[in-house]
Amino acid sequence: MKKIVKNPILNSLIIGMGAGVVAALLGTRFLPYYVVALLIVTFIRRVSFD
């Protein structure tokens, strides 16, 4: 997975906000809230500990 920026904390925030936007647009219609939350946490953890 390519990193957008070199700072892992800033990168996790960018990914988190992006996932939040996707969750707001798509997740509320097609996925349960707990699945969306799990995906967001997974994205942040993968970027932070990559």
Domain count of the fold of the chain: 1
Residue 2 domain-assigned?
no
At CA 36, angle to CA 33 and CA 40, rounded to 5? 140
Tens of pLDDT, residue by residue over 30-48, are 657 777 788 888 887 887 6
Do the domain assignments include residue 3? no
Per-residue pLDDT, 27:
59
Q: Which structural domain, as residue segments, surrounds residue 32?
A: 8-48
17 falls within a domain: yes
Average pLDDT over residues 1-28: 71
Q: Regarding predicted confidence, which is higher, 42 or 28? A: 42
Instruction: Report which of residues 40 and 6 the model is more confident about.
Output: 40
pLDDT at 48: 67
Per DSSP, the residues of 4-35 read SSS-HHHHHHHHHHHHHHHIIIIIHHHS-HHH
In a domain, 44, yes or no: yes
